[in-house]
Amino acid sequence: MIVLGIETSCDETAAAVVDGARAIRANLVLSQLGEHAPHGGVVPEIAARAHLEHLDGLIAQAMREAKVGFADLAGIAATGGPGLIGGVIVGVMTAKAIAAARKVPFLAVNHLEAHALTARLIADLPFPYLLLLVSGGHCQLASVEGVGKYRRYGTTVDDAAGEAFDKVAKLLGLPYPGGPEVERAAAGGDARRFALPRPMKGRKGCDFSFSGLKTAVRHAVAALPEPLPAQDRDDMAASFQQAVAEVMEDRARRAMERFADEHAGIAAPALVVGGGVAANRHLRAVLTRAAERQGFAFLAPPPALCTDNAAMIAWAGIERLRLGLKDALDFAPRPRWPLEELGA
């Protein structure tokens, strides 16, 4: 079962070919960083035009690398939302056009579900499992009960985790996207230098909050010399990353307790992370230890499958096809599409 995946919901144009035996035959990501960098963030109009310009060529290249033709495809999966609507429309229209011309099933994949199912592309992982999804637009803990079946344990009440990394990077004079930059700076910094808050740590439930932490960083930076000395910048990055890690560890621990309670029969429960922020090595290390303490296996896709990619879209398409699911060609792209609204 060979599926072509297309991802265009943010600022990466991506195309991939994956098969049912979990082989990633091609996985191409074209970042638009250079086009957005002068604006300090993603400009939706620029993103949509760049997707339009590059997607056809990227699909052709992915098909060539995978050595498959359209006749070999069991399905064409494209991100149907949530995301920047101009880009989502480009991906969905392209997928529908190929599907209609080649009479191949079309699959509209929920981008969050694709992040959630990536762990099953890299490992033999049965349902249910506990998911920590941390990306630029989302931050949630959920029990993944099956394809299309999610139960939310907690979410952020303000900013997403990646958004916090991106905003703090800006405060520190680091370029967009901030996550990898903050991680790099933190590697040379002292995490004990600045006392930053740990929002939500110790509270009941599994919700997150990051806006207070970001504000604390802003105030602390304002009290430092200008321009910000490199060591101060690195110490702040390390202190911030440590605060985020402690909050996530605390929230994940509570979620593991709840998951274990609700799934008493499971012998080997697993904590799975996904989304761009899950590429962060410090977070991965902290969560690995937290999972170990709770008797959970810890699963994190390789960083290139944590950040946005099309292999995860193709894989989510395979998971849906296996259940006999496909979408009609009148599917309407969705700017908002929470996981809980998915029904298998």
**Footprint on this chain of ligand KG4 (rule: CB under 6 A):** 10, 135-137, 162, 165-166, 177-180, 183, 275-277, 279-280, 307-308
208 and 251 in contact (C-beta within 8 Å)? yes
Given its phi and psi angles, is residue 312 left (phi above 0), alpha (psi -120 to 50 degrees) or beta?
Answer: alpha
Query: 317 touches which of Zn ion, ligand KG4, none (CB within 5 to 8 A by kind)?
Result: none
Q: Is 94 in the site for Zn ion (CB under 5 A)?
A: no
Q: In terms of CB distance, is 207 or 308 closer to ligand KG4?
A: 308
Provide, rounded to whole angstroms, the least separation between the CB of residue 115 and Zn ion: 6
Name the β-bridge partners of 133: 140, 274
Cα separation, 212 vs 222, in Å, equals: 15
DSSP character for 172?
T
Long-range contacts of 292-298 (CB under 8 A, 24+ apart): 293/253, 294/253, 294/256, 294/257, 294/260, 295/260, 295/269, 296/130, 296/256, 296/269, 296/270, 296/271, 297/268, 297/269, 297/270, 297/271, 298/270, 298/271, 298/273
Query: 189 touches which of ligand KG4, Zn ion, none (CB within 5 to 8 A by kind)?
Result: none
Name the β-bridge partners of 81: 110
Query: 128 touches which of Zn ion, ligand KG4, none (CB within 5 to 8 A by kind)?
Result: none
Give the tokens for residue 80.
């149907």
Name the β-bridge partners of 3: 18, 75
Provide, rounded to whole angstroms, the least separation between the CB of residue 238 and ligand KG4: 13
Provide, rounded to whole angstroms, the least separation between the CB of residue 221 and Zn ion: 28
Q: Of 13, 32, 110, 135, which one interacts with Zn ion (CB under 5 A)?
A: 135
Give the tokens for residue 92.
């969905």
116 and 133 in contact (C-beta within 8 Å)? yes
Question: Mask 289-328, x = binds Zn ion (CB under 5 A)?
Answer: -------------------x--------------------
Report strand pairing: 139-146 vs 129-134.
antiparallel
With 0-12 / 13-18 / 19 or more C-beta atoms within 10 angstroms meaning exposed / middle / buried, residue 62 is: buried
Q: In terms of CB distance, is 10 or 273 closer to ligand KG4?
A: 10
Position of tokens 């932490």?
Answer: 213
Q: In terms of CB distance, is 80 or 179 closer to ligand KG4?
A: 179
Q: In terms of CB distance, is 75 or 178 closer to ligand KG4?
A: 178
Q: In terms of CB distance, is 91 or 189 closer to Zn ion?
A: 91
Position of tokens 């799934």?
Answer: 263
What DSSP assignment string belongs to 186-215?
HHTS-TTSS----TTTT-SSS-B--HHHHH
Query: 165 touches which of ligand KG4, Zn ion, none (CB within 5 to 8 A by kind)?
Result: ligand KG4
Query: 309 touches which of Zn ion, ligand KG4, none (CB within 5 to 8 A by kind)?
Result: none
Provide, rounded to whole angstroms, the least separation between the CB of residue 249 and Zn ion: 22
Give the tokens for residue 82.
């949530």
Query: 183 touches which of ligand KG4, Zn ion, none (CB within 5 to 8 A by kind)?
Result: ligand KG4
Provide, rounded to whole angstroms, the least separation between the CB of residue 280 and ligand KG4: 3
Q: In terms of CB distance, is 152 or 263 closer to ligand KG4?
A: 152
Q: In terms of CB distance, is 100 or 285 closer to ligand KG4?
A: 285
DSSP character for 156?
B
Provide, rounded to whole angstroms, the least separation between the CB of residue 50 and Zn ion: 17
Query: 194 touches which of ligand KG4, Zn ion, none (CB within 5 to 8 A by kind)?
Result: none
| Site residues, Zn ion (CB under 5 A) | 135, 308
